[in-house]
Amino acid sequence: KYPLMFRAVDVVVVNKVDLLPHLDVDLDRFLANLHAVNPAARVFPVSARTGEGVADWCDWLVGGDDPDAAL
């Protein structure tokens, strides 16, 4: 829906992944489309409800992968 935006991003946070089994959303298709326009985009699937992915995303926010990249 927003190819220009996704082409420019470094990171995409996909929230509420705990709801995916109950929704008509194809995460694999989304990821394929995202990486078609931006192969380097890093993706963090997260769920605030279950905590899934939150630690990885927070690590990235504080520069866990690259200390020079901390926000």
Q: What is the per-residue pLDDT for 66? A: 65
Q: What is the per-residue pLDDT for 41? A: 93
Q: What is the per-residue pLDDT for 71? A: 52
Q: Is residue 17 part of a domain?
A: yes
Q: Is residue 70 part of a domain?
A: no
Q: What is the per-residue pLDDT for 17? A: 93
Q: Is residue 46 part of a domain?
A: yes
Q: Is residue 38 part of a domain?
A: yes
Q: Where are the alpha helices (DSSP H) in 1-71?
A: 3-8, 27-37, 54-61
Contacts of 21 (CB under 8 A, 6+ apart): none
Domain extent at residue 59: 3-65
| Total count of domains within the chain | 1
Tell me the pLDDT tens digit for each residue of 7-62: 999 999 999 999 988 999 899 999 999 999 999 999 999 999 999 999 999 999 99
CA-CA distance, 69 to 43, in Å (whole number)? 16
User: Is the separation of the CB atoms in 27 and 17 below 8 Å?
Assistant: yes
Percent helix, strand and coil across the chain, each to the nearest 5: 50, 10, 40
Q: Taking 90 as the threshold, does the pLDDT of residue 1 lie above it?
A: no
